[in-house]
Amino acid sequence: MIALYSEAHAAHAPAFEIFRGERVPCFETPQRAQIIRAQLQARGHAMGAPHVDSRSVLAQVHTARYLRFLEGAWAQWLAIDADNAGRQPFPSVWPVRTLRSDVEPANFTARLGLYSMDNGAPLVEGTWQAAKAGADAAASAAALLLAGERSVFCCTRPPGHHAGADFMGGFCFLNNAAVAAQALRQGGAQRVAVLDVDYHHGNGTQSIFYDRADVLFASLHGDPRTEYPFYLGHTDETGEGAGHGFNLNLPLPAGSPVHDWFAALDVALSRIMVFRADALVVSLGLDAFAGDPISTFQLEAADFLRLGQRLAAARLPVIFVLEGGYAAAELGVNAVNVLDGFEQACA
Active-site amino acid positions? 162
Helix or strand or coil: residue 110?
helix
Helix or strand or coil: residue 189?
coil
Question: What's the angle, vertex CA 25, arms to CA 252 and CA 293, rounded to 5?
Answer: 25
- Exposed, middle or buried: residue 86 (CB in 10 Å: 0-12, 13-18, 19+)? exposed
**Alpha-carbon span 249 to 89, nearest angstrom:** 33
Cis status of the peptide bond prior to 229, with omega within 30 of 0: yes
Strands in 215-222's sheet, in edge-to-edge order, are: 46-48, 2-4, 151-154, 318-322, 279-284, 192-196, 215-222, 247-252
**Alpha-carbon span 117 to 99, nearest angstrom:** 14
CA torsion, points 187, 233, 94, 287, in degrees to nearest 10?
A: -80
CA torsion, points 8, 284, 176, 22, in degrees to nearest 10?
A: -70
User: How many CB atoms are closer than 10 A to CB 49?
Assistant: 13
Question: What's the angle, vertex CA 274, arms to CA 236 and CA 347, rounded to 5?
Answer: 120
Please provide residue 68's backbone torsions phi and psi, each rounded to the nearest 5 degrees: -60, -45
218, 266 contact by CB (below 8 A): no
